Amino acid sequence: GENVEQHPSTLSVQEGDSAVIKCTYSDSASNYFPWYKQELGKRPQLIIDIRSNVGEKKDQRIAVTLNKTAKHFSLHITETQPEDSAVYFCAATLYNTDKLIFGTGTRLQVFP
């Protein structure tokens, strides 16, 4: 089955800097890769996703890149703000199976 590894487990950046979180997946058949943000005590919320027919997707300050050959994908946050502080999860699935498997999470801290 699918296995998703996520790095780093913690990341501290200064406000205004960029943050990058990386994930690798094992099943080459996976074709859908979402990212979720979870604030302390809250539910996970989808922030961006990408399908395998696209190499990069951007939404304001966040972007996701996908390298299918290497089986890894990354989340990029530019101009970080204190409200970006949260735990971020990547995930992967073969879309029509709906068996969404998550990475172990990255705790991002943005210092003012």
Partner 1 sequence: NAGVTQTPKFQVLKTGQSMTLQCAQDMNHEYMSWYRQDPGMGLRLIHYSVGAGITDQGEVPNGYNVSRSTTEDFPLRLLSAAPSQTSVYFCASRGDRAGSYGYTFGSGTRLTVV
Question: What is the binding site for partner 1 (CB under 8 A)?
Answer: 1, 6, 9, 32, 34, 42-46, 49, 89, 91, 95, 98-105
> Least separation, in Å, of the C-beta of 6 and partner 1?
8
Q: Whole-angstrom Cα distance, residue 24 to residue 112?
A: 30
Dihedral sign for Cα 53, 56, 37, 21, please: positive
Comparing CB distances to partner 1, the nearer of 98 and 112 is: 98
Q: Whole-angstrom Cα distance, residue 11 to residue 85?
A: 10
Residue 58 CB coordination number (10 Å) = 12
Comparing CB distances to partner 1, the nearer of 44 and 79 is: 44
Comparing CB distances to partner 1, the nearer of 80 and 105 is: 105
